Structure 1
Amino acid sequence: GARFHHRGILDPVKTRFVRANSAIAFPRILGMDLESESIPRLHSFAWNLGLRAEPQEPAIAVTTHLTWGEMQTLASSYFKNVKAEFGLLDEADFMEQASSRFSDPTGMRDIDSVILGVAAIGSFFSPTPHPKEDAIFLDARRVLVAKSIGNSPAPNHVAGWILRTLYLRLTSRPHGSWISSCITMHQVEASGLHKEMQTIAVVYPP
């Protein structure tokens, strides 16, 4: 177990990264040190005194404020003005996912915050901003809160928070973008994206 003490631990199923000294990882590492026959899994033992059902946000359709044609125009503006500076998102992959989402906009998915974030920033840099830019940005926030706060972090959550941080940095007071950037960094750390795979222990749940 000692070999784990200086390393982070990644549960790839839940995309959950924890440091070796965290309350989630400590029981497992202690069990390994004691050579227990039954090593505890990565789990937040006694973390919650009483679980409640997660509040459900109403679904947000990406087509509420945007047509596919408008989305293509705003995405083009984003990739022309932002991608070169930040390198965020592969254009071909994004457009494929966005097209698929506009073809089937039912429910709420992780990619929605990315689509709406790209649309809002694309509108900001467009010669003719979209008339519902504010509503698009607010819907992106609603998706982020609904999908990323109560669930294990995913790459699309991280991308969505980066886009939110960038938009706030462009349009709002410094405090808002600072708070958003803090959440972004927590999402990055919680998912283990800041670590090279060879530097962490990968633990699959039983």
Structure 2
Amino acid sequence: MIALLLRDLRLALRAGGGFGLGLAFFLLVAVLVPLGVGPEPATLAKIAPGILWVGALLACLLSLDRIFALDHEDGSLDLLATAPIPLEGVVAVKACAHWIVTGLPLTLVSPLLGLLMNLPAEGYPLLLASLAIGTPALSVIGTFGAALTVGLKRGGLLLSLLVLPLYVPTLVFGAEAVRRGALGMDVATPFLLLGGITAGVAALLPFASAAAVRINLR
């Protein structure tokens, strides 16, 4: 499993699997939004939690179509499906690799982009915590969408349409946790719901993703 994870990380970085692309997109969102809505600190502070979460979500979305694409093109996916490792484990490893390459860097760089959005100081630790808890759910859900569209030509648009509605609860509770924290309100409820979503999709969706891969490989 560790060897498979390291292999996927090498392939993702070698093929431009989202590390630089996701960070660049996240930076562009944080730079362009203040130019579009105006430099008023109060306005930026109000919209910062939602904008930063939307930027992170869309940055994760950019590289989803690569999760299974390279393995499907060179035939490795067929070998992985018949390997001694359960396909559910393979799917979980690929979701983990996607999070390490995309979600983790976005989480680490988010405080710097919070400065551009004039995020209140109280919101920085909560932004980090919410992204650390919520971005794994984005990767797992995205892996499920990628499994549904594996092998389809020009499946990127269909993948986005499938995944975006599933991302909405994570986005809502993640942004709400940061917003409440920035205002000094209680954040327990959105954090618990965000953690519940992540735990639920991590427990269930690898099985659904593996089933989708098996169907698409027949």
Which structure is larger by alpha-carbon Rg, 1 or 2? 1
User: Same fold by TM (over 0.5)?
Assistant: no
TM-score (norm 1): 0.28
